[in-house]
Amino acid sequence: MYDITTLRDIAITNIVFQPLFAWLGLLTLLSLIMTALYGYLLAKGKARSIQTHKRLAALTLAIGIIHAILALSTLI
């Protein structure tokens, strides 16, 4: 099917002078901050839905896993 070089090529694809896996790392960090902020607002009673917090957490986890796979593929 696909080999590791295909994954590595995808990971190092430059987007605005940075590789894709670097942008996904930044997106993961921003998503983590948004999830934590929403959780804080939820604890203070200013946000309504725990379901939204769970969805943000799942999104953060998915982006983080994709980022990790692509970043690790550059080392192999």
66, 16 in Cβ contact below 8 A? no
pLDDT digits (tens, 9 = 90+) for 13-70: 999 999 999 999 999 999 999 999 999 999 999 998 999 999 999 999 999 999 999 9
Identify the band that residue 1 occupies on the pLDDT scale cut at 50, 70 and 90.
Answer: low
Would you list the domain boundaries of the chain? Answer: 4-73
31: tokens are 């998503």
What is the spatial distance between Cα 59 and Cα 66, in angstroms, rounded to a whole number?
Answer: 11
Question: What's the pTM?
Answer: 0.87
pLDDT digits (tens, 9 = 90+) for 8-23: 998 999 999 999 999 9
Q: Could you tell me which residue, 46 or 3, shows the higher pLDDT?
A: 46
35, 50 in Cβ contact below 8 A? no
68, 24 in Cβ contact below 8 A? no
